[in-house]
């Protein structure tokens, strides 16, 4: 298996989601990808089955916020002060989708621990939320309103949100590693009255965290990307191919 690392920098939401899809559709049986990227301008991504009507598109245009659909499921995310990762991997690699999810999350934790020893308290969620019940609540439109099994958390607060989809015989998984607090502004772009928006914003503050808040410092994105790459190689026991 040939593993390729891609640092594609900052791009629009349409480019980022299109790139993940292109890699997935063209992935060969003997290759896999680990990609890191950011978003410019900031963007809200919706799960594949989520309705655009959940979002105040007019306010997004006013504030120069992209809105895009993800090819994976899940709910709304505001991509801002973060690093997004994607992994594209053929199922011929002998891991089930569930095992792939677990192994990716573990690799991300390894990389974050390399970045700063204070992240040694990171752990995986071991309980799956009741999504049917959650979707009946206002917070049901927000990805970071709950933590799924094997997602990464710190002191019981969600740090990384991930989503996965199988396409033919290839698995695409991507997710957001929160680095700054701007993601909490997502509540401002939800179609809801002010009391509900306030409740959603408070909920995000209570249920999520980000690296800058944990470490009390600005995040060095370039060093973080290097640490995530190294953590991935350690967990999966390989070296990325150099073309």
* pLDDT digit string, tens, across residues 159-201: 999 999 999 999 999 999 999 999 999 999 999 999 989 998 8
The predicted structure's pLDDT at residue 103: 96
241 within domain boundaries = no
* Angle ∠(129,131,132) on CA atoms, nearest 5: 135
pTM to 2 decimal places = 0.92
Catalytic residue among 60, 143, 179, 227: 143
Which pLDDT score is estimated for 133?
55
Domain ranges, residue 180: 2-236
**Residue 82 located in a structural domain:** yes
Number of domains in the chain: 1
Please report the pLDDT score of residue 131 as a whole number. Answer: 46
Residue-level pLDDT at 243:
59
Which CATH number goes with the domain that contains 52? Answer: 3.30.930.10
Q: Is residue 41 a part of any domain in this protein?
A: yes
The list of the chain residues with pLDDT below 70 reads 128-141, 143, 145, 243
Q: Is residue 243 part of a domain?
A: no
Cis peptide before 127, with omega less than 30 degrees from 0?
no
Q: Does 143 qualify as catalytic in the annotation?
A: yes
Whether 188 is in a domain gets the answer yes
**Close Cβ partners of 37 (under 8 Å, ≥ 6 residues apart):** 7, 8, 9, 10, 11, 16, 19, 83, 84, 86
Q: Tell me, what's the pLDDT at 143?
A: 67
Tell me if residue 189 falls in helix, strand or coil. helix
């Amino acid at each position: 298996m040939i593993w390729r690392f891609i640092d594609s920098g900052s791009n629009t939401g349409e480019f980022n989601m299109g790139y993940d899809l292109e890699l997935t559709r063209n992935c060969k049986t003997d290759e896999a990808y680990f990609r890191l990227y950011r978003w410019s301008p900031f963007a809200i991504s919706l799960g594949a089955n989520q309705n655009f009507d959940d979002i105040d598109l007019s306010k997004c245009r006013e504030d120069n916020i992209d809105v895009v659909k993800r090819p994976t499921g899940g709910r709304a995310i505001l991509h801002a002060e973060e690093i997004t990762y994607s992994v594209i991997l053929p199922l011929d690699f002998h891991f089930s989708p569930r095992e792939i999810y677990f192994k990716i999350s573990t690799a991300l934790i390894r990389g974050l621990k390399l970045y700063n020893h204070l992240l040694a308290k990171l752990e995986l969620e071991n309980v799956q939320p009741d999504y049917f019940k959650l979707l009946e609540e206002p917070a049901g439109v927000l990805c970071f309103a709950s933590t799924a099994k094997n997602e990464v958390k710190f002191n019981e607060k969600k740090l990384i949100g991930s989503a996965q989809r199988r396409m033919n015989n290839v698995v695409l998984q991507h997710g957001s590693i929160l680095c700054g607090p701007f993601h909490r502004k997502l509540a401002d772009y939800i179609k809801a009255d002010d009391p509900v928006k306030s409740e959603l914003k408070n909920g995000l503050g209570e249920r999520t965290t980000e690296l800058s808040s944990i470490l009390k410092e600005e995040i060095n994105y370039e060093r973080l990307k290097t640490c995530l790459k190294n953590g991935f190689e350690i967990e999966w026991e390989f070296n990325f191919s150099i073309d």
